[in-house]
Amino acid sequence: MADPQQMEAAVHEYVAAFEAGDADRIGALYAEHATVEDPVGSPLKNGRTEILEFYRSSVATGAKLKLEGPVRVVADYAVFPFSVNLHWEGSDKRIDVIDTFRFDADGKVTEMRAFWGPANMHGFS
Amino acid sequence: MADPQQMEAAVHEYVAAFEAGDADRIGALYAEHATVEDPVGSPLKNGRTEILEFYRSSVATGAKLKLEGPVRVVADYAVFPFSVNLHWEGSDKRIDVIDTFRFDADGKVTEMRAFWGPANMHGFS
């Protein structure tokens, strides 16, 4: 199982990589055959290539992440509340999200699920 | 699918039922064959009887819940950050938790998972 400190560090690296606008740094956190479900209920991104493409689009929006509470770490999971903040079409937007990261034994994320819905979007008209 | 407002209301009822120390009110939020995994990685509580037994022990500790951010609602899930606060063996304790509630079409919780680990426990010696 991944080390708890390593799992928590991955979350902070995720936030820092968005701050730097560096999709490759984000992709490096994932295992080769990982899946990303963002938001939950949408089609999965399967594997490193699709995941990288997804994050290239994400960082291109200029979105920054802000942790909104402590990272919860248990078993092979790190789970954390955060906000996505972006300036888009002339106004500030915020989305309140909780992500679950599941890790493999090498400390790579194998499954990411992002929980946010319409009621969590603020500043969108 | 359960209604988003109904799912969010269930979370507030969960917090209120802890405040009232009423395990039956908590149990009433669950479907007959629901599962509870608290914390994630521990054996499942299966079905209403085991779940009620679990919550009777929980409320007996005097634990109160405090929401620590907005409820994220998407698809058939409500996911929320909160703290568990209790006075025990002469001092105040806090555990930082994120729960995922998955709902059936009737708006009952069918699967609950609680994410918290040793690093999320404060005031325990």
Q: Which two tokens stand for residue A120?
A: 């969590």
Bridge partners, B99 (sequence order): B80, B114
Residue A2 clears pLDDT 90, i.e. is over it? no
> Which of the following CATH numbers is that of domain B4-122: 1.10.275.10, 3.10.450.50, 3.40.190.10, 3.40.50.11900?
3.10.450.50
pLDDT at A49 over 90: yes
Q: Report chain A residues touching chain B, CB-CB < 8 A.
A: 4, 8, 39-41, 68-70, 72-77, 79-81, 96-98, 100, 115-120
Quote ipTM for the complex: 0.96
For B101, which residue in chain A has the nearest alpha carbon? A115
Q: According to the model, what pLDDT value does residue A125 have?
A: 74
B43 C-beta neighbours (distance < 10 Å), count: 7
Look up A77 and say whether it is catalytic: no
Catalytic residue among A14, A30, A55, A99: A14
Q: Do A69 and B69 touch (CB under 8 A)?
A: yes
A72 with B116: Cβ contact below 8 A: yes
Rounded to two decimals, the pTM is 0.97
Q: Are A98 and A23 in contact (CB under 8 A)?
A: no
- Per-residue pLDDT, averaged over A67-83, amounts to 98
Listed in sequence order, the residues at least 6 apart from A83 whose beta carbon sits closer than 8 Å to its beta carbon are A65, A66, A68, A94, A95, A96, A97
- The span from the CA of A106 to the CA of A53, in Å, is 23
Average model confidence (pLDDT) across chain A = 97
Whether the predicted pLDDT of A9 surpasses 80: yes
Which residues in chain A are contacts of B118 at CB distance < 8 A? 4
Q: Where are the domains of chain B?
A: 4-122
Residue B94 CA neighbour count, 13 Å, CB half = 8
Question: Which residues of chain B make contact with A68, given a CB cutoff of 8 A?
Answer: 69, 81
**Residue B53 has what pLDDT?**
98
- pLDDT top residue among B90 and A98: A98
Supply the pLDDT for residue B88.
Answer: 85
Query: What is the distance between the alpha carbons of residues B10 and A121, in angstroms, rounded to a whole number?
Result: 21
First to last CA, chain A: 44
DSSP collapsed to 3 states, chain A: CCCHHHHHHHHHHHHHHHHHCCHHHHHCCEEEEEEEECCCCCCCEEHHHHHHHHHHHHHHCCCEEEECCCCEEECCEEEEEEEEEEEECCEEEEEEEEEEEEECCCCCEEEEEEECCHHHEECCC
Binding-site residues on chain B for chain A (CB distance < 8 A): 4, 8, 39-41, 68-70, 72-77, 79-81, 96-98, 100, 115-120
Query: pLDDT tens, position by position, for chain B (125 residues)?
Result: 789 999 999 999 999 999 999 999 999 999 999 999 999 999 999 999 999 999 999 999 999 999 999 999 999 999 999 999 999 888 999 999 999 999 999 999 999 999 999 999 999 87
pLDDT grade, residue A43 (50/70/90)? very high
B38 is catalytic: yes
Residue whose structure tokens are 């708006």: B107
- Judged by CB atoms closer than 8 Å, whether chains meet at B72 and A4 is answered as no
Q: Which residues pair with B121 in a beta bridge?
A: B95
